[in-house]
Amino acid sequence: MKIDELKKKAALEAIKYIKDNSIVGIGTGSTVSYFIKALSFIKEKISGVISSSSTSSEQIKKYGLKILDLNKVCSPIIYVDGADEINNKMEMIKGGGAALTKEKIIAAAATQFICIIDESKQVKILGNFPLPIEIIPMSYSYIKNQIIKLGGEPKLRKNLITDNGNIILDVYKFKILDPIFIEEKINSFPGVVTVGLFSKIKPDIVIIGTQSGVKTLFNKIK
Ligand code: 5RP
């Protein structure tokens, strides 16, 4: 089965967790695209959605789902999003689609976080996928040097301005042995808006599309 099929299967499985009158937080990416389409078939059942990016908003609007403002919502939110890498502690790298900041905000505000992935996203050690960092443009040289001191190879993501008007540094060749330490360290550099490491805000449920069927993991620690 092709990877896209596995993504689709994980996305369809997530629909089973959407209860009546839910507010659904929506991440960004190709796996989430399948979820948005599937959600549109039950749009009458939910109260509305909160979008993590302009890319997702475009698709959400196309399917006629109602977009809500996170600041005006007080009911529980179920957040559904993909990941670029996930380890066995459910720590993740996210931000391949440059939407990491809003994704982290919605994940933090949500009552339940469901991560939908294909099996290629499962890794032992995070860092093979370049770690995205959203930064304020003025801090570029400073943060680049700090990342080099930490042992990574930062590269500016070309031709990209985030939805928040910032830039993205992708850190290559960065073996992340202690995600909590690295997340805190990078977040402490002035100019960093968000690092795409999710070591504290983790999914409650991970749905994985695999060649041998859909697998669901529950995070018992959280
Ligand atoms: C976007 C993300 C996505 O969840 C991540 O890049 C996975 O994308 P895809 O579902 O296309 O593999 O973090 O910022």
- Residues 46-89: pLDDT tens digits? 999 999 999 999 999 999 999 999 999 988 999 999 999 999 99
CA distances (Å), 84 to each of 7, 14, 17, 67, in order?
12, 18, 22, 25
State pLDDT tens for residues 7-35. 999 999 999 999 999 999 999 999 999 99
pLDDT score of 221: 61
Q: What percent of the chain has pLDDT over 90?
A: 98
How far apart are the CA of 202 and the centre of ligand 1, in A?
15
pTM of the model: 0.97
**AA letter at 111:** T
Nearest CA to ligand 1 atom 8: 29
Which ligand 1 atom sits nearest the alpha carbon of residue 116?
10
User: Pocket of ligand 1, candidates 3, 5, 30, 55: which has the most ligand atoms within 8 Å of its Cβ, to mutate?
Assistant: 30
Q: How far is the CA of 97 from the centre of ligand 1 (A)?
A: 5
At 207, the pLDDT band (50, 70, 90 cuts) reads very high
Name the strand (E) or helix (H) holding 182.
helix 179-187
Contact of 170 with 193, CB cutoff 8 Å: no
Cα–Cα distance between 88 and 68 in angstroms, integer?
33
In this predicted structure, the answer to whether residue 220 has a pLDDT above a threshold of 80 is no
Q: Which of 13, 85, 91, 103 is labelled catalytic?
A: 103
CA 77 – CA 142 distance, rounded (Å) = 37
Residue 99 contacts residue 55 (beta carbons within 8 Å)? yes
Percent of the chain's residues with pLDDT above 70: 99
Question: What one-character DSSP code corresponds to residue 184?
Answer: H
Question: What is the whole-number distance in angstroms between the Cα of residue 215 and the centre of ligand 1?
Answer: 19
53: left (phi over 0), alpha (psi -120 to 50) or beta: beta
For residue 38, give every residue at least 6 positions away whose Cβ sits within 8 Å of its Cβ, in sequence order, or none: 11, 12, 14, 15
Ligand 1: nearest atom to the Cα of 117: 10
Q: Is 184 annotated as catalytic? A: no
Q: Which domains does the chain have, with CATH numbers?
A: 3-122+199-218 (3.40.50.1360), 131-196 (3.30.70.260)
Pocket of ligand 1 (CB under 6 A): 27-32, 81-84, 94-100, 103
Residue 81 β-bridge partners:
115
pLDDT value at position 158? 98
- Give the residue among 116, 88, 89 at the shortest CA–CA distance from 214: 116
* Mean pLDDT in residue range 174-192: 98
The residue length of the chain stands at 222
- How far does the centroid of ligand 1 lie from the alpha carbon of residue 125, in Å? 18
- For 43-57, the pLDDT digits (tens) are 999 999 999 999 999
pLDDT given for residue 222 in this prediction? 54
46 vs 10: CA distance, rounded Å: 20
Can you say whether the dihedral through the CA atoms of 60, 66, 69, 75 is positive or negative? Answer: negative
Q: Looking at the CA of residue 81, tell me the nearest atom of ligand 1.
A: 4
Under DSSP, is residue 180 helix (H, G, I), strand (E, B) or coil?
Answer: helix
